[in-house]
Chain A
Amino acid sequence: MGAVNPETVQPSPLAARLSLIFTLLALLGLFIFPYGTLSHTGDAQALLQRFPSGLTNFTGGEFQNIPQVGAALSVGWVTLLALMATALAAWRRASWLWIAGLITLLSALVAAYLFGQSLDSAVATLTAQGVRARRIPWNSGGVHLGLVLPALAGLVSVFAGLSMRSVWWQRLNRLRPLLVPLVAIALAVIVGAVVVMVVQPIPNGLNRPLSWGELFTGKLDLVWYVYTTLFAPLSNLAGFFDSLKSATPLIFTGLGVALAFRTGLFNIGGPGQLTMGGIAAMLVGVYAPLPAPLLLPATIAAAALGGALWGAIPGILKARFGSSEVINTIMLNYIASAVFIFFIGSNTFTVLGRTYTLPFKTEGYEAKSDEFQPGARLDTMAHWLGFTRGEQTFVSLGPVLALLTFAAVYYGLARLASMAKWRGLLASALALLVGWLTWHTAGLPVSAIFTRSLLNTSLVIGLICAALVGFLLWRTSAGYALRAVGLSPAAAEYGGIHVSKNMILAMTLSGALMGLAATHYTMGGALDEYRLKANMPVGVGFDGITVALMGQNTPLGVVVSAVLFGTLDTGSIRVVTVLDHVNKDIVTVLKALIVLFIAAGGFLSRRITDPPPTALLEHHPPTISPATSLPDAQSSAPSDNTSARGPQ
């Protein structure tokens, strides 16, 4: 999309239309949606601020010292004007669309900031009067849809406006793979919102039926409350650590599914492989008479091996007999759960009237193993990263500094050809040195609650695995073979790649990754004890599918989406304790919907998600053709392309 003549450059009709839709929605939303939340009580009853003025009160209580949000409201008028300007710019496809969008975005952000300041100062006043933090209503406040939508519209308009310049067009183009996951999330969020509206009555303390307007506002606030609470763990360190704790097993299972996907295999056997990993880790971690330095790696390896074994079976069956790995992995899930019950459920079993004993189940009623030996336990992150100086607890910045050092040295020396051989080694050595020096000296002060977090170093194992999977798939010939089999088994075979061997390899590695997820639950003590326990949530094996699809089967994507879903899982616990009609499986529904919508390509046309190469469009640069003829130009070029590609 080269800009031929900079004078006549203007946003494409699609970009302008997108910006216009968002802007009009935001204009409408500014008036009909709440502007901000002043308070949510413990039962999620709301006190809402409206724009341009007025309160909506669902609590039924009278409030003293309501925060003065006048400043935030007056900035709202600026936002309103900016939105109107943006709408005009989008309508006329003006080249200054991005400026108007930027002003909208900034003014909305300023209004949000001022709103937060007003709440903070109201809290400060009450604190000064000696009111306890839990009794101050304004702690639970924040911005609402009325202000968030203009910010969003501003953001969209900025990018829509900037996309007219070829530099920005190319930059945005590189983000195109994110489109389907993002649209899928958005659609799932909308469906989830409808579900919440249907199942949960409005938390109402008014002792009277609500008017239609209040009903509308209340339902909207309910949805907003649910989603903000789902993402709330990200707003503080303890919550973030909890999210990472939920994310850790998802990283493993997501990587496992992604690796199999890349080889064209679908591994739904996560639960079984995780279970077998757990059992193998238990056998080594509890019973192996090894010295501590050997025991830890041996236990980790056992977990991987247990999962690998369970993954290899369907791999071999597929390669040897051609039976579907989908059904076999599912069957193996059920068998693994039976094996688990056999090992942990009871100490005795009877075969044909003769009774045998098993040593694995610990004494007592609960089905769990004996404790892992101290040498087979993974450190908690808080203990590993944290240190105290005097009364204050710190989180170490050592790993961050070490990484920064590595990056600085490695890329800093990239220009020097003479250093090419040594820069990796040098950078690693320096990074290790910096890490060692700063581990217990440089840190961020945090509250001591953080040391209670059960987040453990299996997260580090997970991140290392992510790096290794990335390296394997894109930097080694073995990985090339795996991906070739995934793209086209026939072509790979023709190219001299042993297809069945690679299928077995992929399933084995995938199973090993799934098995490693068990390190989090057993060696890491994520379930409060360093044991193999019956309540190990093996369903994370299925969640791995969602994580992998969301992360586009790339290691980085898997890590990011694992953190996202870990956050949702953590946030859902809070939602459920407050709203009695919402089940925590609403998150499961959201995940399923995301898979559904990603499978459907976000209902987007192929022209948008997978556009033809620009070379084909070169003859129809949209910047020159008038608005009316453009759709023809765009639709004709891709259709040539699809026919050239032929049936798939």
Chain B
Amino acid sequence: MSERAPTLVLDRASVAYGDVPVLEELHGVVHEGEAVALIGPNGAGKSTFIKALLGLVPVVRGRIEVLGRPPAQARRDVAYVPQADTLDPDFPVSVEQVVMMGRYRRIGWLRRPSAEDRAEVADALERVGLAGRARDRFGTLSGGQRQRVLLARAIAAKPRMLLLDEPFNGVDAVSQHALLEAIGSLKAKGASVVVSTHDLAIAHLACDEVCLLNRHQFGFGPTGDVLTPERLRATYGGHALELRGDRVIVTQT
């Protein structure tokens, strides 16, 4: 593990909207091919964490380095997957066109997609199991399928780091499986993954590391070490119940 290059370095970093600090004392390292789960209650700052890695929220103290650069300068190699239900389902755009947006950075201004771009789009759709839906309107797909389309858009960008904001919320089992498969294959190719989720089982299943968040960091490290009842209770402020000593149920998220 240690010979792998670090892709994300958090050095006692605090991020803030204006004067209001949202997240404080972030500290940890993620390497190539590793996935880290961001876990914490609603309003804990998980989305802000992801926006900070995109350079959309400023670091006011400490340091964040993405792929060895300040976040805003790493965007070319970072892909962001928003929550599907934040996008307008009536928007007249096809599945194929949404995935093509992942190629815009490579295509550049004033140019049109090339045959290679089209091939990458088709390949990305294949990898999330939606090759047959390319020409359908984005809004006609189910929530889970739309989430897979947005992951395909990220795959088409060929990122070295993938940021996913609550991709498993309200997603059916088939889509969840497809999302996990696709994330796994990106990891296998050396990409780092940062994924915010409420689902501790998914964190266990798909992620090597966990970052517990609620305004500040309650733990960062290997999943087995960090996902302990004590730490979860601290993160969720008492809204976590213990079950049989080694499992935890989060009663309020």
Q: Do A and B bind each other?
A: no
Chain B residues close to A by CB (< 8 Å): none
